[in-house]
Structure 1
């Protein structure tokens, strides 16, 4: 799994933590399963945390948001998000070492959140702005957070649509790659990826918080059938972190 999935859980936590303090820093470690056929099927990544939530904009790791409209019921935001999803053939197995590298890219677009008594409903529409995949992704998600004493428990569930161009860049094998590597050609179509995750946080005091998080992405068939894919039905990310809020 990529850092994109780690950030999902931590952005979710930081958004709620920002109610008490706008600036949060921290560090942790994450354990992830790779979506690709890598030699090492599990990765361990250091996890720096940095988030700032103001009235007009926010910064959360690789994501920047500019609030166009915001009140207690809803929020409309312009988003620029650096998606760290990538494929590096030097870590792959067998003939996959001969295929091309898939680079991370910058997405930009718009997000809308509706705040309700049963949770927050968020939709984002993002387009690749660096021309790597030239693809688009649309995300719809529900999230909720419950506080009790020093504990906070958050849950998120959603679905992400990836366009045909997005899937073909990250999971497709074109004719030239096939001839060079011997890997069979593959041209995936668009796909839907359901996901779910949770975050548990314990506040030692108003500044210091310990965080435990985990999530799972249910791999769509269009990605699962790719010669690049690990073939796993579920990709996971879990980890721990400690944060300090100013």
Structure 2
């Protein structure tokens, strides 16, 4: 999680714009997520990869225009990546949702020493004429294709235990013809990022052993993976009302069914027995009087803390991203009242409380099963991010679930 600052290259009064960004980093043999880019491995070996690829494209315009415009988005394409020791080279061919094409080549180097990680990079962007005319000429001026150059450095510094400081600084140079458009004010764009992140702490094995001992009973049933099945009911109430036990009922009884998978990243956080899981999920929103069936996809990092009060209980909190195929009624109606244009991509939060069924029913065969309640929350982080359409508001669902660890 952190804050990105970007220069506004257009001929407007504002010179800069800020975004709050939640970032996830995870990879396995099948796919990877690295901040604002991700890919599915179509083919790979030790040195070569061909990936179905997506990357977030920022459009730095004044904050008050970003909700109506919503021109920033994840674009999709095909990526080839070559890995050689600490060097990495990749090339990708991309397109936005209206088939405006562009591509890039990127070279980067990974250097790590002690508590420091440095990642210098340089890349060329090839942009088509229709891409430049829309995003820089604003569909008012004609311009040809061009090549943009970007370079910078990403850094990570280990502060304490699982906590890391994250930073980035970069500069981009727009091609001459595009920079000379009447809509443009500058040829150079600077961007920076400052934030923090949590990573597994492999250096403190003694603390890990201590935490595992404290919660040995929890670890026996909390194996490395889980499946969660849930059913949820929409509520027009906000989080404050839900936590205050003042929840209202959705008059149209909108509901969803979801399935989440989880794989454990670490079983300690700051030397406490708090488990972190990477957890993607699929959500099916059922049709109702006011909406049709629609799908939702989620990727998140979730933390669990186990405690004993009779049986074992767990508190859970998740942070991530949620994308819907169409905006739900409960969300769209609230945003319409507030005067916002809805966004399909929003920040995702999950708050949960569950109990171990093996303890509850004194059954060892149910020791890996948990039953609980959770809040499924989507929102735009109080207008703090263009990635989420600069909106304030979202939607909440209360769910009941079963979660099985294996």
The CA deviation string for residues 101-133 of structure 1, in whole angstroms up to 9 with x for no partner, is: 5723442211011111461111001122x21xx
Query: What does 1:1-246 correspond to in 2, within 5 Å?
Result: 27-85=1-59, 87=61, 91=65, 101=69, 103-117=71-85, 119-128=87-96, 130-131=97-98, 134-172=99-137, 174=139, 186-205=141-160, 207-230=162-185, 232-245=186-199, 246=265
CA–CA separation in structure 2 for the residues paired with 1:143 and 1:222: 28
Aligned residue for 2:23, secondary structure, equals: strand
Unpaired segments ≥5 residues, structure 2: 200-264, 266-406
1:206–1:113 Cα change, 3 Å: farther
Determine helix, strand or coil for the equivalent of 2:11.
Answer: coil
Q: Structure 2 vs 1, CA of residues 66 and 216 (structure 1 numbering), >3 Å: closer, same or farther?
A: same
| Residue pair 1:87, 1:170 contacting (<8 A) in 2 also | no
Structure 1 residues 91 and 106 mapped into 2: Cα distance closer, same or farther (>3 Å)? closer
- Displacement of 1:213 after TM fit? 1.1
State how far apart, in whole Å, the 1-side matches of 2:121 and 2:17 are.
23
SS of equivalent to 1:49: coil
What is the TM-score normalised by the length of structure 1?
A: 0.72
TM-score (norm 2): 0.45
Greater RCO (Cα-Cα under 8 Å, separation 6 or more): 1
Distance 1:206 1:222, change over 3 A: farther
Highest Rg: 1 or 2? 2
Closer, same or farther: CA 173–44 of 1 in aligned 2, 3 Å: closer
Q: CA RMSD in A?
A: 2.5
**DSSP 3-state at the match of 1:223:** helix
CA contact (8 A) 2:4 2:193 kept: yes
How many residues are treated as equivalent by the alignment? 199
